[in-house]
Chain A
Amino acid sequence: MESLADAGRLLAHLALLSLVSVGGAHAVFPDVFRLVVTERGWMTGTEFATLVALSQAAPGPNVLVIALIGQRVGGAALGVAALVAFCLPSSIIAWFAARAHFRGAGTRLTRAIRNGFAPVTVGLVLASGFILATGTAGHWWMYAMAMVSTVLASATRLHPLWLIVAGAVVGALA
């Protein structure tokens, strides 16, 4: 990172994405990737994928990957600021929505929003996984690992930690 302007650009981008992040942090990976890797070159695609992996391997909400990305771009302070920038706008919306919900407002509209958003959210999350699986994989075994992990995680009740451990072992030996 070169300047405060860069930090500002990252934070503004995250705050904007926050407002449309249906599906949570998972849905915004392609857009964050585009800014920090493709457009600005603040890190490589492999580094980006590694930070996502780190966030899946460590205990805690997955959204903390945003802090890791900010930290990689401009140090720990920017990591904290990035997390706040990404969480605050959506949290304010959630707060208003919660108050309206507990007052029993607009059941038909709530249902229409839920049913209308759901397919879009599914598409966004799948696209994110697809881009992470294909955009950064350099070797055939990485595609295989992603496919095995997809099948086991969606079809069985296997704990995600086992897949993470398997990925680490396979990767270290490959």
Chain B
Amino acid sequence: MAPSSPPTPRELFLGFLNVGISGFGGVLPYARRQLVDRKRWITDVEMTEMLSLAQLLPGPNIVNVAIMLGTRSCGAPGAAAGVLGLMLVPLVLFLVLGAIYQEFADVPWLKGAFAGVGAAAAGLILAVGIRFAHALKPRAWVIALGVASFAAIAFARLPLPLVVVALAPLGVWIAWRREG
């Protein structure tokens, strides 16, 4: 499975357009299928590497993947083409759905349905965190940092910038020392 030649901005736009409109409840699995299996722009190993870098950077993971793949293929125009392809069509769809929702927000059974979807969605987000957690090495400092960031937001209700600025450098420092 040799990778094909690097995609042009136009191909990136269309490729990510396909990713953007197919994902229900998160587009990452579709991104792998599209970019690795169908287009063969990157290998499975490269995809995993890009994803792990995308996860540690701020910003949505899939947007960061589009920027990285676009930058590698053809610089800033490629990154812009990937992100626009990813966002444009779903953005229009979302704004239409949002407008419809505001029209019908008071219909009782619809209200209940949305509340149910909200509960299911909260569970999906918790599951994302649990899957992340499984990938971590169960060291004492790792658990302590995870618990600290959870408690700081969930219970102490501290602002996110404060929590990240306090805990992320601490984590990097410990990880750096451990490896040295």
Contact = CB atoms under 8 A, between A and B. Distances in A.
Contacts of B132: 118, 121-122, 125
Interface string B84-127: 00110111011101110110010001101111111111111111
Interface in B146-163: 146-154, 157, 159-161, 163
Given A120-B168, A123-B150, A83 B91 contact: yes
A114 B123 contact: no
Contacts of B149: 119-124, 127
B21 to A, nearest CB: 6
Given A61-B87, A111-B179, A130 B56 contact: no
Interface stretch (B7-15, B37-45, B71-79): B71-79
Contact of A28 (B115, B130, B160, B173): B160
B63 A94 contact: yes
A1 interface: no
Contacts of B167: 120
Contacts of B56: 22, 113-114, 117-118, 121
Interface residues of B, number: 100
A116 B97 CA distance: 39
Contacts of B61: 24
Contacts of A46: 115, 118
A125 B175 contact: no
A17 B98 CA distance: 23
A144 to B, nearest CB: 8
B48 interface: no
A34 B154 CA distance: 12
Contact of B123 (A80, A89, A91, A150): A150
Nearest to B101: A54
Given A61-B87, A95-B71, A124 B163 contact: yes
A58 B161 CA distance: 29
A47 B105 contact: yes
Given A59-B22, A59-B90, A132-B122, A91 B113 contact: no
B142 A126 contact: no
B1 interface: no
A129 B122 CA distance: 5
A37 interface: no
Contacts of A169: 113, 116
B2 interface: no
Interface string B1-42: 000000000000000000011111111000000000000000
Minimum-distance CB pairs A-B, first 8: A171-B116, A149-B123, A60-B90, A90-B59, A123-B149, A160-B25, A167-B120, A116-B171
Interface of B: 20-27, 52-64, 67-68, 71-72, 76, 79, 83, 86-87, 89-91, 93-95, 97-99, 101-102, 105, 109-110, 112-133, 135-136, 141-143, 145-154, 157, 159-161, 163-165, 167-176, 178-179
Interface of A: 16-28, 30-31, 34, 46-47, 49-64, 67-68, 71-72, 76, 79-80, 83, 87, 89-91, 93-95, 97-99, 101-102, 108-133, 136-139, 141-143, 145-154, 159-161, 163-164, 166-174
Given A56-B120, A146-B119, 6 more contacts: A51-B101, A61-B20, A94-B68, A112-B176, A120-B167, A173-B112
